[in-house]
Chains A and B, each alone.
Chain A
Amino acid sequence: MKIDRRSFLGLGLGAAAGVTLSPMPWKLTDDSSIWSQNWPWTPVPIDGEVTFDDTVCTLCPGNCGISVKKVNGRAIKIEGKKGYPVNDGGICLHGISGLQYLYDPSRVRFPMVKNGDTWKQVSWDEAASLVAGKIKELKDKGMADSVACVAGSDKGSIAGLYKRFITSVGSQNFYTVDTMEKTWEMLIERVHGLNASAAFDLAKSDYIISFGTGFIEGWGSPVNNFLANSSRKERHAKLVQVEYRLSNTAASADIWLPAKPGTEASLALGICSAMISANLYNAAFAQSAGKDFEAFAKFVNEKYDPELVSRTTGVDAAKIKAVAAEFAKAKSPLAIAGRGKGESAGSLMEFAAVHALNCLTGNINKEGGFWTIEQQDSLTWPSVVMDDSATKSYAKPPVGAVTSVIDSGASGAGIFSAVVSAVSGGATDSGQKVLSSVSKLFEVINASEKSPVELLMVYNSNPCFTLRNAKVVKDAVNKIPFVVSFSPYMDDTAQLADVILPTHTSLEMTQDVYSGACIAQNVIALSKSVAVPVYDTKHPGDAIISLAKATEGSVASNFTWKTYSECLESIMGDNFATLSEEGYIASELAPPVTPLSVDFSLFAAFKDSISLEGDAKSYPLTLVPIDTIRLASSTLASPPFAVKTVEDTVLFEKDTLVEINPETADKVGVDDGDYAVITTSVGEAKVRIHLFDGIMPGIIAIPEGLGHSTGAKGEIITKDGSPMAGITGATSIITQTGGVSKNRGQLENLYIGGKGVNVNELIGPVMDPASGLDAAWGIRARISRA
């Protein structure tokens, strides 16, 4: 057949018609919609039986009760546990995001040893014998005191094991990060002569004056405070917020008193003065329980008359008097100090000035008042056995020793015995007035030619990020010949370590937890493992026990338990059985019945609190940190979900935004969104400007919790000698930022890492002469257009 143009066209058209009329196009069309619903890269979560596992969140000191929802044993969601004493079903955004920590891309997947620029995978045994070898070596040389440990806190059995390890080796160099709880404890001991923690019965108080405390910024036990704040709204209980910036707490308060920064203590004493001169204080209480009250009354009347105070604080005298009157008339008034994240511990004298208000009303250990709670450390440890060399080394004071200038007061007992016993690991209780400060530790190391610390263990803390003047801390850490990190994540400090012994994350392990964080109830709980460990990590208790065994000798003999769980069971005693069954033990919701005395002499000895670093001429502005609950700034880096909630006026792309008043901006010559450089005596940083009317002119406020480094530097070599593959696995799907990240194989968390500025690179520590703890709450600064 000859194919001419006509038949060709005919055939073509025929074929087209045939195909069109056949089922093929319909089938293909239908298929296309099915494909587009089932791309292989869109996950299809598997369904199954639903169960709930109750445990306790340990991501922050709040320790909320949580319920982990599981499908076929796979954890899929975290919810607040209804009826739990701390949080009654409420939960914060970090707690909900708990599961994101489990699969955090920066998690360290196996023990690693640093080798020049690369990390090498090793077995747990190899890693333990390497570290143990170093420790033995130091011990043999009589240098056991050059072994140090920095831990997040000293509460609970795990911290106890690390402290015990350091003590067994023969060192006093066990450090925890300073907290405002410590400051309160010191104050209670000095003023009331009690060994107790502070608690605030916020949920029952009908009038609260808060000096910069961010109840709803994440202070103390965050969810507990949210609940209290809501109940306050229902009960029409008043909140007065003293703060130079309209924080969320200030916005939620009934009265906002923007006192100039650093004058909060003066304002507190001004209110005291107004109360005393108008005879509005609880005279019966002050006279019967108080000592040196008259001296205090005279002191404040002379020096803190409301008119005078008005000039220093910028708060109207009439307002001071009005607040004083309302406060005094309230049924259960309460004054609170402690701006947690702004500084590490806070100024003891500032706390004292605030607490004077509580002492004037006498609303102490009463409903809705200030409570002194007995510390409930119910763990019974076998005593530590030391060999000769350990005993000898242990006699040496800690490297970061600081002395307090405060007199021991009238309460008789060594005022800081609580802290001292913490320093000495419970082994001795000599009553010496020596404290150890983690800031001081790094300062000393940095200043020495050769680091006095030969081996540093870092557990559950991230000093290279959270300590003031982080750059100095990093330099110091780099100077230490051997650094061992027990972190589950490649955090800012782990990156500088020589060995990482990665521990489980909280959801993968069981541990005892103790509510503190100033809540008016004692709750002991067992936080249970609710997820199978994802990687080759160990329980931090087991990690230290096996390290002790590898160290052999007297150290090993102090760790006779086979496993951490055996240890926990034996040291917890009776509580263990109850906790295993009930999950938690909560004390009565009633004020302590401890008889109370008040020594007013400390208040009368008030000296102005901490002055800021830097001279006013070259640094005309004040830089202060601010916080939002949405960014975790100490306990862990924020999870992706939380970072997602951060406003674009706090973080934009990779830039931190700082808040300043439009008036300040005018003077400096910057506008909303501009790039600017902040300079302090500690460092400088490029930021962007966010204009906010709610901040006092003259102040720059910078958000906490940003400025984490991204993750590991250097290549990671696995056991089989190959570089670690990209964690995300190379697929052809575009990632959300437009390309498959090449660095994912390096344990980086790009959701928070590499974003913004770490406040601590701009602010240095300021030692509180009264407490010896770091009390920096800001720094002098200048800002100019970039």
Chain B
Amino acid sequence: MTQDNHGKKYKFGMVIDLDKCTGCGSCMVACMSENNVPFKEDETNKKDSITWMRVFKLTNGKPFPETDICYMPRPCMHCGGKGDHGHSPCVSVCPATATDYGHDTGIVSQIYTRCFGCRYCMGACPYHARYFNWWDPKWPDGMEEYLSPNVSPRMRGVVEKCSFCYHRYQAARDKAYHEERRDEIEESEYQTACTQACPAGAITFGDLNNPDHEVCKFVNPDPHQCGKPRNPKAFRLLERLQTNPKVYYISEREWVRKAGDNYRDGEWGKEIHSSDGNSHK
């Protein structure tokens, strides 16, 4: 198996260093602010609170004082899907083609005006990365003044999710085009809002197809195994489901790496986590 985007233009991805992440939430808010994400009076029901980037808090489950915690930021994984061919769990199920896989970028798009709100894609995504607009977005008087024209505010009844700040890619592409560089976007020209904001420098973003890019150096993705990281400290969430995410995590802590997937008793520690998660067939 080779990755679909191998040899294609770009395959944008993200690497998050969980040992650096402080759980500060800047990425969450940077994303809300960049992407016109609305808010409501009560956001404490986390199951209906739109956070394209959500920081989960994990614990190792041990009693005091052996306890440890880890924060895990979760944007959309921009899954390549089985075989990394672009059949992401969500894209493959959308009946109206309202979410699509960009074969030239690896980015999973979401077209709000096409989406009719069946929510099938939400059921398909194991990462809870998709959010439904249960309400009309509404801002306190005057506050809609700060909305950005680069991302259209969504209407009630449609699904939204992290876009890898696609409008920033468009802007970088346009700029390159105007400067007659055609397809050559510099690593620094296209960075997502969360990457840029993270005060701990825990997030790295770039082209996984480009060996010069930091993301590629960090995880050393294996093109013959759908981008599985070759760095033993790196992992992807739910690797075993073969969703082939383009968001990678790094941690020195074994319990954290183990929490990235499901293992039956006794599996972890055997070769399962070093063997090919995609080779179950």
Contact = CB atoms under 8 A, between A and B. Distances in A.
- Say if the two chains contact directly (CB < 8 Å): yes
Given A246-B68, A630-B24, A651 B44 contact: yes
B25 interface: yes
Interface stretch (A18-26, A134-142, A384-392, A726-734): A726-734
Question: Is chain B's binding surface mostly helix, strand, loop or mixed?
Answer: loop
A696 B63 CA distance: 10
Given A42-B153, A733-B136, A233 B51 contact: no
A658 to B, nearest CB: 15
Interface in A648-668: 648-649, 651-653, 661-663
A233 B113 contact: no
A373 interface: no
Interface in A598-631: 628-630
B176 interface: no
B231 interface: no
Given A71-B149, A258-B64, A630-B25, A645 B51 contact: yes
Contact of B199 (A75, A100, A102, A226): A226
Contacts of B200: 90, 216, 226-227, 229-230
A728 B29 contact: no
B152 A103 contact: no
B34 A77 contact: yes
A133 interface: no
A251 B146 CA distance: 36
A645 B146 contact: no
A538 to B, nearest CB: 19
Contact of B70 (A104, A251, A641): A251
A43 interface: yes
Q: Could you say which of B33, B45, B137, B155 has the most chain A C-beta atoms within 10 Å of its C-beta?
A: B33
Given A93-B26, A216-B22, A733-B136, A750 B41 contact: yes
A259 to B, nearest CB: 11
Contacts of B266: none
A694 B43 contact: no
B25 A736 contact: no
B29 A629 contact: no
Contacts of B153: 42-45
Nearest to A693: B67
Interface string B198-213: 1111100000000000
A741 B42 CA distance: 13
A42 B199 contact: no
B41 A694 contact: no
B62 interface: yes
B65 A80 contact: no
A545 B157 CA distance: 52
Interface residues of A, number: 86
Given A44-B152, A694-B69, A644 B199 contact: no
Given A45-B153, A99-B146, A645 B29 contact: yes
Interface in A693-710: 693-697
A629 B25 contact: yes
B180 interface: no
Nearest to B48: A736
Contacts of B70: 251
Interface string A176-205: 000000000000000000000000000000
Contact of B145 (A103, A629, A662): A103
Interface string A53-91: 000000000000000000100111111100000010111
A256 interface: yes
Contacts of A750: 41
Given A103-B145, A230-B201, A693 B25 contact: no
Interface string B6-37: 00000000000101101111101110111010
A322 interface: no
A46 interface: yes
Nearest to B199: A90
B177 interface: no
Contact of A644 (B32, B59, B152, B201): B32
B198 A90 contact: yes
Contacts of A75: 146
A92 B199 contact: yes
Interface in B114-140: 135-140
B245 to A, nearest CB: 23
Given A45-B153, A99-B146, A103-B143, A735 B199 contact: no
B39 interface: yes
A322 B36 CA distance: 51
A130 B49 CA distance: 47
B40 A648 contact: no
A651 B71 CA distance: 18
A676 to B, nearest CB: 18
Question: Is chain A's binding surface mostly helix, strand, loop or mixed?
Answer: loop
Contact of B32 (A641, A649, A651, A661): A641
B113 A37 contact: yes
B55 interface: yes
A78 B136 contact: no
Contacts of A80: 196-197, 199
Contacts of A737: 40-42
A9 interface: no
A79 B39 contact: no
A246 B69 contact: yes
A532 to B, nearest CB: 10
Nearest to B39: A640
A45 B138 contact: no
Contacts of A256: 65
Nearest to A252: B22
A100 B24 CA distance: 18
A505 to B, nearest CB: 13
Contact of A229 (B22, B43, B147): B22
B172 to A, nearest CB: 14
A47 interface: yes
Contact of A41 (B55, B136, B143): B136
A694 B67 contact: yes
Contact of B64 (A649, A697, A729): A697
B274 interface: no
B46 interface: yes
Nearest to B36: A45
Contacts of A692: 67
A323 to B, nearest CB: 15
Nearest to A728: B141
Contacts of A695: 64
A736 B135 contact: yes
A469 B142 CA distance: 36
12 contacts: A44-B153, A80-B197, A103-B146, A104-B140, A216-B200, A246-B67, A258-B65, A629-B22, A644-B43, A645-B55, A696-B65, A736-B138
Interface of A: 33, 36-37, 39, 41-48, 71, 74-80, 87, 89-93, 96-97, 99-100, 102-105, 216, 222-223, 226-227, 229-230, 233, 246, 248, 251-252, 256, 258, 534, 628-630, 640-649, 651-653, 661-663, 692-697, 727-729, 733-737, 741, 744, 750-751
Which 8 interchain pairs have the tightest Cβ spacing? A736-B40, A90-B199, A103-B143, A694-B67, A47-B149, A226-B199, A93-B29, A216-B22
Given A36-B157, A46-B149, A643-B43, 9 more contacts: A91-B30, A96-B26, A103-B143, A216-B24, A251-B68, A251-B69, A629-B25, A693-B63, A696-B65
Interface of B: 17, 19-20, 22-26, 28-30, 32-34, 36, 38-46, 49, 51, 55, 57, 59, 61-65, 67-71, 113, 135-149, 152-157, 196-202
